[in-house]
Amino acid sequence: MKYLICCSLLILSHSLFAQTQVDSTDSSSVTVHKDPRIDMLIKKQIQINELTTRDARRHVQGYRILVISTNDRNKANSAKTKIYQEFPELNAYLMWQSPNMKLKVGDFKSREEAEPYLSAIQRFFPNGVYIIRDIIEVNPDKSGTL
């Protein structure tokens, strides 16, 4: 029995040793043949990822200026018109939040960006103009970090 176990161990160790030997001609290089369609698939996946994540990068946490909150629709529309006339560079967002219409303007990334506009808007709307936190829209194509 001992003889059988010793012979099997000897044969097993010899076969393991034979598998670890390498060809001595060129043991340091490996040649990989890549299908060129893989590069096309990678480019296609990059395009898909760009399209699917674009909307998520377009809306971020920021600040807007609440200009008016009223239940009179005509008053809210005239305030929006006045904002467009005096501040054409600002986007105006008129939203219905029962029972009021709220006019918010601007897409500011920081409170410091909004403060100069706050004082300018308060000249036209002296009551109830505030800087508030809101989800803002940014353009991911033109913005470097977002």
DSSP 72-139: -HHHHHHHHHHHHHH-TTS-EEEEEETTEEEEEEEEESSHHHHHHHHHHHHHH--SS-EEEEEEEE--
* 103 vs 82: CA distance, rounded Å: 11
Question: pLDDT digits over 81-110, tens only?
Answer: 999 999 999 999 999 988 999 999 999 999
Residue range of the domain that includes 106: 56-137
Query: How many domains does the chain contain in total?
Result: 1
Q: Is 146 part of any domain?
A: no
Q: What is the mean pLDDT of residues 120-127?
A: 91
Percent residues over pLDDT 70 in the chain: 80
pTM of the complete model? 0.58
Confidence of residue 14 (pLDDT cuts 50, 70, 90): low
Q: Which residue has the higher pLDDT, 22 or 146?
A: 22
Q: Is 116 part of any domain?
A: yes
Task: Confirm if 55 and 128 have CB atoms less than 8 A apart.
Answer: no
* 17 vs 52: CA distance, rounded Å: 53
Least Cα distance to 90 among 111, 72, 58, 113 occurs for: 113
Q: Which pair of tokens denotes residue 16?
A: 């393991």
Q: What is the CATH number of the domain that holds 123?
A: 3.30.70.1070
Q: Is the pLDDT of residue 53 over 60?
A: yes
**SS3 label, residue 67:** strand
Q: Is 97 part of any domain?
A: yes
Q: Is 79 part of any domain?
A: yes
**SS3 label, residue 64:** strand
Region of 142 on the Ramachandran plot (φ > 0 left; ψ -120 to 50 alpha; else beta): alpha
Q: Which pair of tokens denotes residue 66?
A: 């609440």
Q: Is 93 part of any domain?
A: yes
